[in-house]
Structure 1
């Protein structure tokens, strides 16, 4: 992070000072900006629904993700620069935790130089790590990113959810879930090891606290089995047994999948859930991942004489796989028609052709559903998409 400029010594002093580990974010931003010889810096965090960039300070005002230069930096994950109203310039740096978009950093300077841009990027990287390390236990981050009151079932489920987006140089996986403050039984999970992407999308029966508890137990059982090294059929069986034992009157549908990052081989189990969709070369491959579904997870599976079946297909570089709940296809469009499979797949295809990043594609898609006439979902709506993009050989 060294820039070879006078601010280096102050930056080293800041990083070596253990007090910065316990500083609140605005204090840390101010101290670090000073150490880097940056005039002024403000962190803007994106809200849960990714509509607003909310400043983590009382001085600035929220900015729209759609319709502002700050939002452009967030949407494209790239630097944007504009003249400041008070003179000088403002540079907008995306705040990224790996592949996860946290918000943007505004850096104001009398003039931008290559050195100040380098230091601004360094500050954005440092603050992203700091935000990620603190947001799990500091309520100020949750309050900053909420625009309305969170319902209890949603509060419980969101405590279990991973970041919206994960990825590395080989794969990216991203998800959206609505209604953000009233979810009842939908949930998703994704994680990476050195060799595999693990993906889970759940839809528990009902739309209440018990539904959220069903999904929470399912996620916990899935993670427990996965972290103990269970293969896919054993992992699904672990979830079945946990639900049958602890919540015998509840069940959930699910798609649980594993992608081999080296070979592109996708393996999945479908437990009473809508079949995933495959998009290749800008086309929806109809029924490419359509298989006869097994019973939902929980007691129904225990009553079935047939063991769980695992399916397998080889992906090609650039393939996108969509896993969703029926709240997506049952949503209404602006014309008051059901979204349907082909309609929402067509949206993803057109966004892909336009070069949109996967997280931005899903953000715009879910907003198009929410902003349709009536502005109400008939059910929880979850969409997870992952893209396999291995390095060219």
Structure 2
């Protein structure tokens, strides 16, 4: 069984399926790679080129820009749906239509599988559901309505999805309209602060995919994750600060900033951890933070990490949990240099094999309790990932369903923040 990771495209022509009484399979013509979609979409009389060439259009709000791009591509109508912060609903950019459930709709199927789906519209004609993706990050879906879904319409629809994904990514950092549309509850101040620091949930290349989830989405206090890429390395971090208040959020924010500052000046792993230690000791001497900080060499698969008072990362290989593969004696939490007694922090390494999945997590995951009062536990945690891997499920979808399973089975709110970061490595072709 093969799978296509986010950011990759199947070499054969994908299929799109319809739902309900109109169900049938439709063969979709081969689609150009993402970077070529805009260039190869037929633009009729050149209106798309005119739209893109006009500098005044750069200042348009997304709703207006989407409408004009749709018209410029000769499409009848389109609707942008964004995933809410917990990835439970797909929320339209405007109130023209109600939100759709991710787990029980054709649009949700498109979001979950990152594949094209089509159906007959209730008002007549056809609707194509197209993934909205920025690199490896799932943003939502695009609904394209047309009298019929010809190959030209589907190519133009994909081109529109590519354009809109770039627009969303470039503007969502400063346009609160996106944030307001994708939130369903008020957010506590510590969570607001930490979310401003978080990277996209999913990043990746053709050789590695890293994805993460964090709950409770609106009430996080001290948990955070970070991942980033250079040409040669994946950097991944999971942090858990003492407490569950604004002070713990500040501790995590300072730790994240110290990590990034050191990383962006070329620090190696021991220097990076030392920078976090120094920052906490200087700015927040009464606070500490546990964490795992890791660096993966993308060419060789060599993984190096430092464990600072944190749960041991898990390695899943060939659909089996290698329980002790990454078990090492942890160092003290960051921010407590006196406990090191003057010695340097330790770093560890392990050679990954293609297809290996590494899980970094906080104890709020394994300590979550179900309706029967039993802890979720390490065994059930790993088993869930293994089963999803065997089923060929995309890594971001695996974590989305896993965290929802934990939340939905809990008798009350989580006892602690629950964060999971998972990455999968594939050896580059020689």
Give the alignment's TM-score, normalised by structure 1: 0.98
Q: Is the 8 A contact 1:2 1:8 kept in 2?
A: no
Residue of structure 1 equivalent to 2:334: 297
Residue of structure 2 equivalent to 1:229: 266
After superposition, the CA RMSD in angstroms is 1.1
Q: Is the 8 A contact 2:332 2:340 kept in 1?
A: no
> Shift of the alpha carbon at 1:58?
1.4
SS in 1 for 2:46: helix
Q: In structure 2, how many angstroms separate the alpha carbons of the residues matched to 1:158 and 1:10? A: 39
Q: Is the 8 A contact 2:207 2:426 kept in 1?
A: yes
Structure 2 residue corresponding to 1:274, chosen from 311, 314, 317:
311
Structure 1 residue corresponding to 2:147, chosen from 91, 97, 110:
110
> Shift of the alpha carbon at 1:68?
0.3
Structure 2 residue corresponding to 1:135, chosen from 147, 154, 172:
172
Structure 1 residue corresponding to 2:107, chosen from 70, 80, 86:
70
Give the alignment's TM-score, normalised by structure 2: 0.90
Q: In structure 2, how many angstroms separate the alpha carbons of the residues matched to 1:99 and 1:301? A: 41
- Map 1:189-204; keep pairs closer than 5 Å: 189-204=226-241
Q: In structure 2, how many angstroms separate the alpha carbons of the residues matched to 1:187 and 1:150? A: 16
Residue 219 (str. 1) matches residue 264 (str. 2): no
> Shift of the alpha carbon at 1:303?
5.2
> Shift of the alpha carbon at 1:4?
6.7
Instruction: Report which stretch shifted further, 16-25 or 56-65.
Output: 16-25
Deviation string for 1:182-235 (max 9, x for gaps)? 000000000000000000100000000000000000000000000000000000
SS in 2 for 1:379: coil
SS in 1 for 2:197: coil
- Map 1:92-103; keep pairs closer than 5 Å: 92-103=129-140
> Shift of the alpha carbon at 1:335?
3.4
Q: In structure 2, how many angstroms separate the alpha carbons of the residues matched to 1:131 and 1:67? A: 25
Structure 1 residue corresponding to 2:215, chosen from 171, 178, 201:
178
Change (3 A) 1:212 1:373: closer
Deviation string for 1:287-335 (max 9, x for gaps)? 1000000000013456533210010000000000000000001001343
Q: Give structure 1 stretches of 5+ with no counterpart.
A: none
Q: In structure 2, how many angstroms separate the alpha carbons of the residues matched to 1:350 and 1:82? A: 30
Residue 148 (str. 1) matches residue 148 (str. 2): no
Structure 2 residue corresponding to 1:246, chosen from 261, 279, 283:
283
> Shift of the alpha carbon at 1:19?
1.8
> Shift of the alpha carbon at 1:17?
1.0
Q: In structure 2, how many angstroms separate the alpha carbons of the residues matched to 1:2 and 1:35? A: 14
Q: In structure 1, how many angstroms separate the alpha carbons of the residues matched to 2:286 and 2:171? A: 38
> Shift of the alpha carbon at 1:336?
2.7
Structure 1 residue corresponding to 2:361, chosen from 321, 324, 330:
324
Q: In structure 2, how many angstroms separate the alpha carbons of the residues matched to 1:191 and 1:392? A: 22
